[in-house]
Structure 1
Amino acid sequence: MPLSTSNEDYLKTIWNINEWQETPVTSGQLVKTLGLSPSTVSEGVARLSALGLVRHAPYGAVRLTGEGQQEAARMVRAHRLLETGLVQLFGYSWDEVHDEAERLEHAVSDLFIERLDHKLGHPARDPHGDIIPAPNQSEVPRQIPVTLATAEPGTTVHVKRVSDNDSDVLVYLEGAGIVPGIAVTVEKSQSDPQLLAITLGDVHAIIPLAAARAVVTGTADA
């Protein structure tokens, strides 16, 4: 039986959180990420548990089962391929694609997603640098992010991913030229600890440390 839109959103969110932390997902994180009440999230997790898609002990962590991982990967793959297609084929900016892909991912078929993947040349990452799961993938590629904010002065790092949690930050970073694939050199620390001095090519810039935390330059194994 097809999953409801709500169930698909829960599974995708659990996968997304799992990618970037060592510890299991909590109900509190789902409340914050989904913007729902604790009681609504509890009901949603209970539905997924009844379907055999998650394991959840009372007040404990929420873990995807094998079948849950497969369904979550399917949704994450659809979302990230749609984001990529919206940018490459329809001229969307990277701060516009998340909400559009959220609407489309529940309506398109698996066949459409595979044909979109072929049309795009089988991209490995979406416009923000997130890994696009392969067909039939079920294992979450868990990694711990190393961000631009933690880079040592005098070092040059390459941007691998930019968090898409805040569209205003995406607009700011794109305007500053900080996108996946670009090399950034960190300069001396500023007198203001909330600022970071960087160089991109021949351009010098000072950016908020909060924005630098959204820029992933490497990963540590989870």
Structure 2
Amino acid sequence: MQDYLKQICTAGEWDDVQITTSLLASLVGVSPSTSSEMIRKLAAVGMVTHRPYGAVALTDAGRSVALRMMRRHRLVETYLVAELGYTWDEVHDEAEVLEHAISDLMLSRIDAKLGHPTRDPHGDPIPDADGVVQRPDARRLSLLEPGESGIIARISDEDPEMLRYFDELAVALDRPVTVLRRLPFGAGTAIALHGPSEVTVDMGDLATRAIWVTRA
């Protein structure tokens, strides 16, 4: 139940999407029938609302549980990178296991050890102990027009291989970027990465959609 509630919350965190049972099945990795059965159970205990063939939405109680799980997951990811030498493409699956195993005391010790971080290694906001989330006002890099600049605030962790690709390009949180031009025939976008060393790269649409930026 915790995994389902967390997925419903995170799926709509950065995008305005309709959470359906079929989408949820894909996100959790189960069959549509299994997803539908779990939604019925969650609705029965007051965690979600759902009409047949309609969207699934969290109740206040469901959102509270989801935010607690998001906090656990993202603090564990941050700890694995900061203290145990994991790379950002390795931590998701580990955190999926550990978020259910650690105690509240251990979680609070991890939070204190890290200095109470507000975001995880991918830029996703970490809810505080009261469930308050401070999400940056960011939009996809793919939505910027040529000449517009931004600062990288979030990078999707959906595809570990893409994270390794971004490592090769030195794409990282807080790095300034500028959209230079659209490449012809839908070939992608030319991007300037600013910093100690200025780099110009050609990115495909999937890559630019995976990066969120705040205003420069």
Given the two structures, how large is their TM-score scaled by the length of structure 2? 0.91
Report if the CA contact (8 A) 2:138-2:153 is conserved: no
* 1:204 equivalent among 200, 204, 208: 200
Structure 2 vs 1, CA of residues 141 and 32 (structure 1 numbering), >3 Å: closer, same or farther?
farther
- Name the structure 2 match of 1:63: 57
After superposition, the C-alpha distances for 1:126-153 in whole angstroms (9 at most, x for unaligned) are: 0000010111216x77888621112111
Structure 2 unpaired stretches of 5+: none
Report if the CA contact (8 A) 2:11-2:17 is conserved: no
1:8 correspondence with 2:2 = yes
Structure 2 vs 1, CA of residues 142 and 203 (structure 1 numbering), >3 Å: closer, same or farther?
closer
Displacement after TM superposition at 1:23 (Å): 4.6
Report if the CA contact (8 A) 2:136-2:214 is conserved: no
Q: Which runs of 4+ in 1 moved over 4 A?
A: 140-145
Structure 2 vs 1, CA of residues 29 and 141 (structure 1 numbering), >3 Å: closer, same or farther?
farther
- Name the structure 1 match of 2:77: 83
Structure 2 vs 1, CA of residues 155 and 142 (structure 1 numbering), >3 Å: closer, same or farther?
closer
Displacement after TM superposition at 1:189 (Å): 2.1
- Name the structure 1 match of 2:153: 160
Displacement after TM superposition at 1:28 (Å): 2.1
Displacement after TM superposition at 1:92 (Å): 0.5
- Name the structure 2 match of 1:171: 164
Q: Distance in 2 between matches of 1:206 and 1:74?
A: 39
Report if the CA contact (8 A) 1:19-1:143 is conserved: no
Name the SS for the 1:159 alignment partner. strand
Structure 2 vs 1, CA of residues 117 and 143 (structure 1 numbering), >3 Å: closer, same or farther?
closer
- What is the one-letter code of the residue matched to 2:129? P
- What is the one-letter code of the residue matched to 2:211? V
Please show how residues 28-39 of structure 1 align to structure 2 within 5 Å: 28-39=22-33
Moved more, 43-52 or 117-126: 43-52
Q: Distance in 1 between matches of 2:134 and 2:66?
A: 12
Moved more, 123-132 or 53-62: 53-62
* 1:94 equivalent among 83, 88, 94: 88
- Name the structure 2 match of 1:52: 46
- Name the structure 2 match of 1:115: 109
- Name the structure 2 match of 1:20: 14
The higher-RCO structure (CA 8 Å, 6+ apart) is 1
1:131 correspondence with 2:121 = no
Displacement after TM superposition at 1:112 (Å): 1.1
Aligned-residue CA RMSD (Å): 1.9
After superposition, the C-alpha distances for 1:141-183 in whole angstroms (9 at most, x for unaligned) are: 7888621112111222111100111111111112111111100
Displacement after TM superposition at 1:39 (Å): 0.4
Q: Distance in 1 between matches of 2:13 and 2:75?
A: 17
Displacement after TM superposition at 1:196 (Å): 1.4
Q: Distance in 2 between matches of 1:73 and 1:157?
A: 28
> Could you tell me the percent identity over the aligned residues?
45
Displacement after TM superposition at 1:115 (Å): 1.1
Structure 1 unpaired stretches of 5+: 1-6
Name the SS for the 1:74 alignment partner. helix
